[in-house]
Structures are given as structure tokens and as C-alpha cells.
Amino acid sequence: MINITPTVNRLKLIDQNLQNINQLFMDWMLLDLIYGKLEYSKPNTFNECTYSQMILNMKFVIKKHNKLIGIMAEYDMMPFVDINIKTLSWEDKGSDLHSLIFNYENTLQILENNLLKIKSILKLNGLIKEESK
């Protein structure tokens, strides 16, 4: 049996970070509506319902990510040649559990990397401060 809890927790963390950045954009009046937070349940078995929920959650987080990228492009916050962020899409390529987890993990990695780039861009634009270590 595959333990999907770490994967779900990674998506939850990404969603929370995107939610925080969206809130900052709303505070700066660059955004007038933010998407809600995902409701997470702790799956104890992997079944069709869990599979569907994982896909829906991923699509929701990608939609939130892409909206953020669009706003940053609209306000010309990404003129940095060495920092490249692109919008994402999710394609469910079948119902194989291992394929889903592999694609999910790859997409999570891209989202995590993009989140770091978004934070770098916001720092370079003077919109957030360096985090203390």
C-alpha cells in the first residue's frame, strides 16, 4: 500500500504559501478576489474517491498558481531574464496509481520550485523582505 500522506501534505503547504502570497496581493490592491483554501482530509485508504480528490486539489492549486503568475505578468513583475516561471496544466494520463503518484510528485516539485522563484521575484521587486534564518 502506498502512503500518500506526505504527498498530500506537500500540496497543502504549497496551497498555504500561495494563499499567503495572494493575500499580500489583495492587501496591495493588485487582486480583488482570492480563491479559498482547500479542504483537506487525511486519506487512510486509497480508493476512487481519494484519487478524484487528489486530482481536484491539484487542479485547484494549479489554477491558483496560474492566476498568480498572470497577475505578476500583468503588473510587469517578471522582467528578470534568469528567473523564468510558466503557467502549469494537469493532465490525468490514465488511472494507474503509480502513474498518478509519479505525475503528482513531479508537478509538486515544479510548484515548489516556482514558489521559490515567486518569492525571489517579490523580494527583487521590494514587495517582501528577506526571511531571517
Which has more confidence, 84 or 11? 11
Domain assignment of residue 132, yes or no: no
Alpha helices in 28-96 (DSSP H): 48-74
| List of residues 6+ apart from 129 with CB closer than 8 A | 123
Domain assignment of residue 91, yes or no: yes
C-alpha span between 39 and 10 (Å, rounded): 14
Distance between first and last Cα of the chain: 38
Domain assignment of residue 13, yes or no: yes
Q: Which domain holds residue 16?
A: 5-36+44-124
Q: For the chain, how many structural domains are there in total?
A: 1
Q: Is the distance from CB of 68 to CB of 118 less than 8 angstroms?
A: yes
- pLDDT tens digits, residue range 17-76? 998 888 888 887 776 766 777 766 666 666 677 777 888 889 999 999 999 998 888 888
Domain assignment of residue 131, yes or no: no
Q: Is the distance from CB of 14 to CB of 108 less than 8 angstroms?
A: yes
Residue showing cell 479559498: 36
C-alpha span between 61 and 133 (Å, rounded): 27
Domain assignment of residue 82, yes or no: yes
Domain assignment of residue 67, yes or no: yes
C-alpha span between 17 and 31 (Å, rounded): 16
What is the model's pLDDT at position 77? 83
Domain assignment of residue 129, yes or no: no
Residue showing cell 513531479: 106
